[in-house]
Structure 1
């Protein structure tokens, strides 16, 4: 289950309608699982007020959930992307809280849950994807205790001090805890979630989260009522990846290699091509990247014509005001930089505000000498892994923000703090002048990691952990009774792992 189905609806010039598989790692990871398990994929078809019956496509059973125009405005553009998204990305932009958005979020989550309940078999397995559907696990659990339920959060989970600002923080936590396994991109995200559960709900969280079961459910198990019966929930990191071999194979194709050479020629054959590929989003650090690059051009550390930055910024959420403002700011910065330092033959930045097919992206990866990933906060950032997988020649340099989840795995990149413009500039200059031997040493290690830890390994590891919870025992455990009254949220299990303590110190600093 995900907010979107894994297909896009297309209308041909003659008016005929059809479907095509959506690009993206999630679809690649789960397509074979769906086909082999006789599964169904529940999601929105991507257009408001589109009524569709369940249908089969390319070996998958697809179950559409209808969303009205108001649903899209309040549940998706509103609560999901103007409340949860900025909050979970460390309030880089201020979140907006509207009760009507929350009410719509609850209602749409209920609609998704009902769509699953209509089709899932006894003792079935449900895997819920991402922040738009955080209430669904509990809704399914309440209706069907026989189900095995997983949830994966593709975006970051915020530190407790930030998450606690959410007016509906308790409801979100309880919704997620309906799952048997909750997956996160980074261990720090999982630790932050556990801390929020301890402080807000008062549950024991080590080594697993102990969710008390209601008295009537406890009685039904026949267990002793000494203490309280609990259900154990696993919350841990399962870092997502890509179909790395597919990117490597595409990069070997002669037509794509020829296109990469053509791109360099079209850019005037500069010595160094730098590349940024992002959704146009305030979390991606595009403004910081342009600022650092522009200062290097102005300082003379980089020379126009010798170095070019290609910035691909695919359109994103353009009905949301914050995103419209961001586009205006970035395009103004690019225009000013090109106007101040461009020549008749060369522009410092080639700015492209549209998306490209995968083949063109691989050609861009091959053409680029330096990949700039300067996210201010990112769950993973698969572009970094796509670039690495495409570099069969073991050349190229990845400059990677330490605030992207990929930084936990891709340690041979040049890791940077994007807020530190001086440090970012140093890393860009280092990347531009890096010797081939150092490039090869770093890229070889990066490629080994990406090729071994691919998207198939990600889905397999999560589903293996989920399968291990099937038919879990309701384990009686004596839990500390939460205090009542205003101070109840402060009750917490005082035991914490060293890793979590380190995370909390890092946040405080």
Structure 2
């Protein structure tokens, strides 16, 4: 229909475009024809008229002129003497035309006059005898020109329409044959694209078809890469649940992580519940509440075994269960080799490039693989269908995706790497780099926080693995399996659960200062993290020392409250960090403090989320000085806590959050002087500027919350599954056609 309308439009344009030109051509041609007829007529009658004039034979001239005027195109003939008097006019000569109306000269003259609404062509020829001088005037009625033009226009339009219809029929027949061949080629191309064997010319199709087919394949891949989650949607547990119901009806969601969202530990009063300080748990737990399904994790609590059923499962959250926690038990040897050894002495420092030498031991690698196999078995056991969606979390499970793929070939495996991915040269240090890359490429989708980390991964694959990389669509095909590489910036829930029941900001300011023994007029900078060498705790303290040295007017009026939860204390680097932090804080307090004032208050214990948010609301500044971080959700939690639109976020440019929270004060944590000056800027920033910056960051965190993060992955998973169904149908159609 569209092409038919296009052809009809072209025909109409041709008709109306050429119609005026046709009239002009016909008019000019007809006038030349009349002029030629007039000349011929004059030549044929000149001698006869001259003789009659010489003999003054009025009767002969009148009869001659009347006889000539009987021609259907000839209107009249007359003779005008030298005084302009008309003589011997034919019977039908127009009465209201005189010789003075006719153009005359000493040479033949041709003109057009209008009489009673009609065009009259006048040919005036000089004609003289010895006794007389004058002009012979021959008048033609030009009305026949209009009739001739109408006839030509009619046949012109008719010819164009006939030709147009003929072209349309030929084009339709050609397009039908072309489309039939194209559809056949598309089906074959989709099957070849699935196998990674698409030939350069589009599988033998004509060159133009081959190019279009390959463009279609690229568009299909781009569709899978794009996500409707870019539309402005108020993402919440409800909208995420609705998305799952619409896009993935009846699909089981299984999450796998090392750290569990709820830990049960033995106390004197029985089992106590603890929510671990983990960015992964902070992000994934609200998503699992919305999705339901099963979360598989290492049971690390001392009372974990006593709280599960016979299948090692427990419904969570305890107050309002919405999903199942399945615990996997590890021996102390397995935990040492897999968690402390390979994961945190090897991969963690390798990926963070934080100047701590990574340690790689064959025994740790062997245990790491064994534990990954254990978790793969747990996923297979928990799967109720052959095609669940499996969310594999973090660097503890680099080889797990490929292991799940062997057990559940139809599963949609989304692996999210919560830490940075280094450049290929750095990753090349790892002795088992190829095994790790192959393990990750068992994923259907492999996600990182930023596009930069995605590019690093693609470069690493290109350097160490024989595979086909599609950089335009950010995918890797290994052994006929395609993995999409995507950036998914992780975030927090909005509004955070920890905000529920929080007192007003002014009350929090007063309560925090009273609890910590800090004066009400003292400005507080807060730092909250695990005791990890990647978080830049020591660098932060050095910056405080530099700041108070350069700006002594803040001594007694400024305190850094550093909250740090002990972690991985089995590892020497972590124990040493904690010891160095305690020693450094003591030296700085001794240098700038006195008996009643300490510029650095180091609090080494775990804080529950409600306590942390209360600290955020009571502080003036939050400092996130990571030396290298995938995202860092502390920065986003501080922003979410400040519903008063006040407070200043100081954020490391090496944290992934800096890509989103551009309104923060960005620092290079290695630059003590620069960070000290940023402290001064933060403490002197006007409230109006604080408000503008905080409102921008709060809008960003609210819009790009954790539910949007999950929605991006699940929408891409849905499209991937739909694409797989199309390929399966094409395969079935091809198989059916071959029989």
Same fold (TM over 0.5): yes
| Structure possessing the higher radius of gyration over alpha carbons | 2
For 1:468 and 1:4, the matched residues in 2 are separated by 29
Shift of residue 253, structure 1, vs aligned partner = 2.9
1:39: which partner in 2?
Answer: 293
Q: 1:129 aligns with which of 390, 393, 405?
A: 393
1:141-197 residue CA offsets vs partner (Å, 9 max, x unmatched): 122211111100111111111111111100000000000111111111111011101
C-alpha separation between the residues in 2 aligned to 1:440 and 1:36? Answer: 32
Q: For the structure 1 residues 34 and 297, does the alpha-carbon distance in structure 2 shift closer, same or farther, using more than 3 Å as the test?
A: closer
Listed as ranges, the matches of 1:373-412 within 5 Å are 373-412=624-663
1:245 equivalent in alignment to 2:509: no
Equivalent residues of 2:312, 2:328 under 8 A apart: no
CA distance in 2, matches of 1:40, 1:14: 29
Aligned to 1:189: 453
Report if the CA contact (8 A) 1:256-1:359 is conserved.
no
Q: Do the aligned partners of 1:185 and 1:379 also contact (CA within 8 Å) in 2?
A: yes
Cα contact 2:441–2:478 (8 A) shared by 1: no
Local SS of the residue matching 1:149: strand
CA contact (8 A) 1:197 1:205 kept: no
Question: What SS is found at the alignment partner of 1:398?
Answer: strand
Of 444, 464, 489, which residue of structure 2 is paired with 1:200?
464
C-alpha change, 1:91 and 1:298, in structure 2 (3 Å) is closer
Unaligned runs of 5+ in 2: 1-255, 316-320, 728-739
Q: 1:289 aligns with which of 540, 543, 546?
A: 540
The equivalent position to 1:145 in structure 2, one of 386, 394, 409, is: 409
Query: Residue 623 of structure 2 is aligned with which of 356, 369, 372?
Result: 372
TM-score by length of 1: 0.85
The separation in 1 between residues aligned to 2:420 and 2:277, in whole angstroms, is 22
CA-to-aligned-CA distance 1:203-234 (integer Å, 9 cap, x gap): 21412323233xxxxxxxxxxxxxxxx33211
Note the alpha carbon deviations across 1:105-129, whole angstroms, 9 max, x for none: 0111011101111221211111111
CA offsets, 1:19-60, max 9 Å, x none?
566565655655565466552111111148976633231232
State the secondary structure of the residue aligned to 1:380.
coil
Establish whether residue 67 from structure 1 lines up as the match of residue 318 from structure 2.
no
Partner of 1:3: 258
Any conservation in 1 of the 2:629–2:654 contact (CA below 8 Å)? yes
Q: CA deviation at 1:302?
A: 4.9
CA–CA distance in structure 1, aligned partners of residues 277 and 578 of structure 2: 24
CA-based RMSD? 2.3
Distance 1:48 1:12 in 2: 9
Determine the C-alpha separation between the residues in 2 that align with 1:445 and 1:3.
35
- Correspondences of 1:70-219 after superposition (within 5 Å): 70-120=333-383, 121-203=385-467, 204-206=469-471, 207-213=473-479
Partner of 1:487: none
Alignment partners' CA distance in 1, 2:474 and 2:690 = 42
Of residues 441, 466, 470, the one that matches 2:692 is 441
Separation of aligned partners in 1, 2:662 and 2:704: 14
Q: What CA distance in whole angstroms lies between the structure 2 residues aligned with 1:267 and 1:387?
A: 20
Contact 2:493–2:706 (CA under 8 A) maintained in structure 1: yes
Is the contact made by 1:244 and 1:454 (CA closer than 8 Å) also made in structure 2? yes
* Aligned equivalent of 2:510, options 261, 264, 268: 261
Of 341, 346, 357, 2:597 maps to 346
C-alpha change, 1:78 and 1:186, in structure 2 (3 Å) is same
Displacement of 1:10:
3.1
Q: Which moves more between the two structures, 30-39 or 177-186?
A: 30-39
Structure with the largest fraction of helix = 2
Provide the TM-score with structure 2 as the length reference.
0.59
Higher RCO structure, 1 or 2 (CA under 8 Å, sep 6+): 1
Q: What is the CA distance between 1:5 and its match in structure 2?
A: 2.5
Structure 2 CA distance for aligned equivalents of residues 49 and 70 of structure 1 = 19
Residues 1:467 and 2:726 aligned together: no
> Retained in 1: the 8 A contact 2:263–2:304?
no
- Tell me the secondary structure at the aligned position of residue 374 of structure 2: helix
Please identify runs of 4+ aligned residues in structure 1 that moved more than 6 A.
none
Residue ranges of structure 1 left out of the alignment (5+ in a row): 214-229, 476-509
Query: 1:201 and 1:129, CA in 2 relative to 1: closer, same or farther beyond 3 A?
Result: same
- What secondary structure, in the 3-state scheme, does the structure 1 residue paired with 2:626 have? coil
The structure-2 alpha-carbon separation of the partners of 1:255 and 1:426, relative to structure 1 and needing over 3 Å to count, comes to closer
